[in-house]
A and B are shown apart, each in its own frame.
Chain A
Amino acid sequence: MGKQMTEMLKGTLEGIVLAILAVEPAYGYDITARLREQGFTDIAEGTVYALLLRIEKRGLVDVEKMPSEKGPPRKVYALNAQGSEYLREFWGTWSFLAARIEQLQQHAENPQNEGGE
């Protein structure tokens, strides 16, 4: 994953993680693994953990501590009503952004199609 990818991901990772949690509750390691499966191979577990702490503080997820055989209990994160609302807004923003960027790309790649009106 290049530098540019990392930078772009920063602004959207919150929404991506909430979208993963919308499917089912998960703990940090799960989420990192799923992101890696989807091609975000360089994502650090700590980055996801820091993000989970943030969305927990902002009240977007509910946290349950599940005892584990070894080591400290695992924190399982579940999307709550506030998180769902935030995710809905995220998808709206994303669609807007994606459409605008797509349009810009088309104009940039086919400038001759412009000015016909």
Chain B
Amino acid sequence: MAAQWIELVTGPWEDKRRWRRLKQRKKQLPAGYRTAMDGLERYFMYAGPIARGDVYLQMLEDLADLVERAAVDGTSVRSVVGEDPVEFAEAFIANYADGQWINKERVRLIETIDRSAKEG
């Protein structure tokens, strides 16, 4: 499902290459870390749909950097994600807000209120 969705939003071949490389990286992770990444990816898709393919890929690559590093260092999934995985996921997504659908609406709201303030 993720693959189909990403195909829909990513045009450039480079993005597709990045996507395949990401899947490769994930395959090489120890099982527990891979499960955690799957879970986070799924949450990312539902909680903060990123409209821009390149931003979404960047987010997953940054996550892969973090998880790979943890796997090599032997840092447990729990100490990476913490007691509240949702809070972690939300903090992570917040970094990519400029790629989120909702961001368009945020900008629209800001502009509308600016206009309303001028209209008096």
Could you tell me if A46 and B88 are in contact, using CB atoms closer than 8 angstroms? yes
Count contacts between A and B, CB distance < 8 Å. Answer: 57
Smallest CB separation, B35 vs chain A (Å): 15
Question: Nearest CB to that of A68 among chain B residues?
Answer: B72
Tell me which residues across on chain A come within 8 A of B82, comparing CB atoms: 42-44, 46-47
Smallest CB separation, B78 vs chain A (Å): 8
Question: Nearest CB to that of B76 among chain A residues?
Answer: A45
Identify whether the interface residues of A are mostly helix, strand, loop, or mixed.
Answer: helix
Tell me which residues across on chain B come within 8 A of A72, comparing CB atoms: 65, 68-69, 72
B24 in the interface (beta carbon within 8 A): no
Could you tell me if B75 and A29 are in contact, using CB atoms closer than 8 angstroms? yes
- The residue that A44 contacts in the complex, of B73, B79, B95, with Cβ under 8 A, is B79
With contacts A54-B95, A57-B95 taken as known, whether A47 is within 8 angstroms of B88 at the C-beta atoms is: yes
Sort chain B's interface into a size bin: 20 to 34
Smallest CB separation, A103 vs chain B (Å): 32
Instruction: List which A52-106 residues lie within 8 A (CB) of chain B.
Output: 53-54, 57, 68, 70-72, 74-75
Q: Interface 1/0s, chain B 73-114, versus A by CB < 8 A?
A: 101000111110001100110110000000000000000000
Question: Nearest CB to that of B82 among chain A residues?
Answer: A44
Tell me which residues across on chain A come within 8 A of B62, comparing CB atoms: 53
Tell me which residues across on chain B come within 8 A of A50, comparing CB atoms: 88, 91-92, 94-95
Smallest CB separation, A27 vs chain B (Å): 9
Smallest CB separation, B24 vs chain A (Å): 13
- The residue that B95 contacts in the complex, of A53, A68, A75, with Cβ under 8 A, is A53
Bound-state Cα–Cα, A57 to B99, Å: 14
Residues on A facing B (Cβ under 8 Å): 28-29, 42-47, 49-51, 53-54, 57, 68, 70-72, 74-75
**Selected A-B contacts with CB under 8 Å, 14 pairs:** A28-B69, A42-B82, A44-B81, A45-B66, A46-B81, A46-B82, A47-B88, A47-B91, A49-B66, A50-B92, A51-B91, A53-B62, A72-B69, A74-B69
